[in-house]
Amino acid sequence: MSAVKEGDYDGIREQIRGIMKQPGYDDGSAGPVLVRLAWHASGNFSLVEHTGGSNGAGMRFPPESVDPANAGLHHAISFCLPIQAANPWLSHSDLWTLAGITAIEAMGGPKIPWEPGRTDYSTAEAAAEHRGDISERLPDGALGADHIREVFGRMGFSDREIVALSGAHALGRCHEDRSGFEGQWVVNPIRFSNQYYKLLLRDIWKPRKWDGPFQYEATVAGTKLMMLPTDMALVQDPKFKPWVEKYAADQDLFFKDFSMAFAKLIELGVERDDTGFAQLVKKAAREGKPLDQTAQPSGGGCPFAGGKKRDAKL
């Protein structure tokens, strides 16, 4: 793979699209696991301890790299390595988050605001000292609505944003040798759409009889599908369910809300000396609001304008 000019993020996006076709991997695409990499690299942030988040690329080191919740993500990191090797000016943490949003768009999803400027931990010791204990911060698919709110509330997400982010389950599948769960959520797991919500609302889900952890199953269009307890909690909870219904009925609304929520997710934990997008995300997280319902911070410009790379200090 050839290098692109430093700061040419459109060129990096093209290289990411170039690694998405993976005939020997799930459904022939690296797209879903790239999205999961961006999600898991970011979704361990805490507003209380102010640790975790996408900055640093801590998943390159133990204990984060061997956390059972991150099982299988070494595939995504490996897919990204040729891009990183050809472009050493690009941080792993910027690459992982950019790969996630590029994959979503390439699979038919919305454009997601993104800014560069993340930096990487140089050693495992630096990661441990700065990041602290971020174990058990990611969702457990075996649990219910209270757990979901605890996990996402720690990052400053509202019920609306929680349901929107859950729509990422339109992509990919579970693997028994990783999470213990097995199967895909939708018929086409490499196409981003609102089918996940439509399927959740159908009265077709039955407990699966097998030796693995409790999950639901159904057959749709000749394809065996599954849902996790955390998925079904979205239709069992009276505050979550209206958003499931809205997104099932209106894909444009889902795309808009998902774009804002995912942009907020991958920015959490990134420190910048500016008053634009990063400051808006911090304010939205503190207030527990979606980005488009959060008033601009004092002195802030357009939150979704492109910007030059700015180093984040660790």
* 306 has pLDDT over 70: no
- What local confidence, expressed as pLDDT, does residue 280 receive? 78
3-state secondary structure 254-281: HHHHHHHHHHHHHHCCCCCCCCCHHHHH
pLDDT tens, position by position, 119-141: 999 899 988 888 878 888 999 99
Please give the residue range of the domain that contains residue 115: 9-138+262-285
**pTM of this structure:** 0.90
Instruction: Decide if 106 contacts 20 (C-beta within 8 A).
Output: yes
160 plus 101 within the same structural domain: no
Query: Which of 40, 114, 205, 243 is labelled catalytic?
Result: 40
In this prediction, residue 147 has a pLDDT band, given cuts at 50, 70 and 90, of: very high
179 plus 108 within the same structural domain: no
- What local confidence, expressed as pLDDT, does residue 129 receive? 84
In a domain, 295, yes or no: no
Instruction: Decide if 265 contacts 49 (C-beta within 8 A).
Output: no
In a domain, 294, yes or no: no
Among residues of the chain, what percentage have pLDDT more than 90? 76
pLDDT tens, position by position, 95-117: 999 999 999 999 999 999 999 99
100 plus 150 within the same structural domain: no
Which of 45-49, 151-155, 261-265 is predicted least confidently?
Answer: 45-49
40 is catalytic: yes
16 plus 129 within the same structural domain: yes
Whole-angstrom distance, CA of residue 268 vs CA of residue 253: 23
pLDDT tens, position by position, 20-56: 999 999 999 999 999 999 999 999 999 888 889 999 9
What integer is the mean pLDDT of 216-226?
A: 98
192 plus 210 within the same structural domain: yes
The torsion angles phi and psi of 153, rounded to 5 degrees, stand at -65, -30
95 plus 237 within the same structural domain: no
Whole-angstrom distance, CA of residue 251 vs CA of residue 28: 25
20 plus 132 within the same structural domain: yes
Strands in 206-207's sheet, in edge-to-edge order, are 173-174, 183-184, 223-227, 216-220, 206-207
Which of 13-17, 84-88, 121-125, 169-173 is predicted least confidently?
Answer: 121-125
Q: H/E element holding 75?
A: helix 73-86
What integer is the mean pLDDT of 277-283?
A: 76
pLDDT higher at 188 or 287: 188
Q: What is the domain count for the chain?
A: 2
Rounded to 5°, the CA angle 48-148-238 comes to 125
In a domain, 224, yes or no: yes
134 plus 266 within the same structural domain: yes
In a domain, 41, yes or no: yes
In this prediction, residue 276 has a pLDDT band, given cuts at 50, 70 and 90, of: low
- What local confidence, expressed as pLDDT, does residue 218 receive? 98
Whole-angstrom distance, CA of residue 187 vs CA of residue 235: 20
In this prediction, residue 299 has a pLDDT band, given cuts at 50, 70 and 90, of: very low
In a domain, 13, yes or no: yes
155 plus 255 within the same structural domain: yes
Q: Which residue has the tokens 């495992």?
A: 124
In this prediction, residue 1 has a pLDDT band, given cuts at 50, 70 and 90, of: confident
Query: Which of 39, 96, 114, 185 is labelled catalytic?
Result: 185
In a domain, 314, yes or no: no
26 plus 70 within the same structural domain: yes
In a domain, 309, yes or no: no
In a domain, 311, yes or no: no
Contacts by 185-192 with C-beta closer than 8 Å and gap 24+?
Answer: 185/225, 185/226, 185/227, 185/231, 186/225, 187/220, 187/221, 187/223, 187/225, 189/26, 189/27, 189/32, 190/27, 190/28, 190/29, 190/31, 190/32, 190/107, 191/107, 191/108, 192/104, 192/107, 192/108, 192/109
Question: Which residues make Cβ contacts (< 8 Å) with residue 83, sequence separation at least 6?
Answer: 1, 12, 15, 16, 19, 90, 95
Q: How many residues does the chain have?
A: 314
The residue type at 9: Y
155 plus 246 within the same structural domain: yes
Whole-angstrom distance, CA of residue 156 vs CA of residue 140: 18
90 token code pair: 């690009």
- What local confidence, expressed as pLDDT, does residue 311 receive? 35
**CATH number reported for the structural domain that contains residue 80 in this entry:** 1.10.520.10
119 plus 267 within the same structural domain: yes
For the chain, the average pLDDT equals: 91
**CATH number reported for the structural domain that contains residue 200 in this entry:** 1.10.420.10
Which of 71-75, 95-99, 309-313 is predicted least confidently?
Answer: 309-313
